[in-house]
Amino acid sequence: MLQTGTPQTVKYLMLSALLCMILSTSACVKGPGVVYHQNYYHPMKKEILEKEVTGLEAAIDDHPGNSKKSASYFYLALLYAHYDNPSPDYHRSLGMFEKYLLFDPNNYKKDEAQYMMTLLQELVDTEKELSIIKIKTERMKQDSKKIKVKNKQLIVENQKLTDAIEKLKLLELSLEKKRLSFK
């Protein structure tokens, strides 16, 4: 049995008090010091992606000027440009990154956002160039069709003229024979 005041009893009491103090202070902590956000780069099904976009858009629409919603702009920008997105909107994604940096210019993800903006700007510029090339290609196809039709008409006309020239040559030969026969 333990007697009061013995060194062994004091050790047990101190250990118990220390354990109680640790448990009580750890209960006051809000949560982990590092907050891990959902990874918006991983593969997503179309339905989940649309649900995430709708939820983030609703959060932004509720409080558009709230700087605490800057993370929503960041993740929405990622989702607009997500590789599983059936209709990615790189221009809109670029705008969301700009708003994110506007609300929180010194955020720890500033470099990542600027890097993504650079890539997205290249994609937006490439999309513009592609649309211009598509328009030019369509015009060239239409012009090519017109030229083919005109070429066919000219071939027919050329054939008619060639036939007429042959007939005139034959006529000239026959007239020359008749003229020679009258001499």
Those residues with Cβ within 8 angstroms of residue 86's Cβ, 6 or more apart along the chain or in another chain: 46
Q: Kindly list the domain boundaries of the chain, sorted by start residue.
A: 46-133
pLDDT reported for residue 171: 93
Q: Mean pLDDT over all residues of the chain?
A: 82
Of 15-29, 34-48, 129-143, which has the strongest mean pLDDT? 129-143
pTM score: 0.56
pLDDT reported for residue 35: 38
pLDDT mean over 40-44: 63
> Which class is domain 46-133?
mainly alpha
Name the DSSP letter for residue 67. Answer: G
pLDDT band at residue 1 under the 50/70/90 scheme: very low
**Cα separation, 69 vs 66, whole angstroms:** 6
Task: Give per-residue pLDDT as tens, 101-142.
Answer: 888 788 788 888 899 999 999 999 999 999 999 999 999 999
Handedness of CA 147, 150, 154, 160 (dihedral sign): positive
Those residues with Cβ within 8 angstroms of residue 82's Cβ, 6 or more apart along the chain or in another chain: 40, 41, 44, 49, 88
pLDDT reported for residue 172: 92
pLDDT mean over 21-49: 58
Residue with the bigger pLDDT between 105 and 74: it is 74
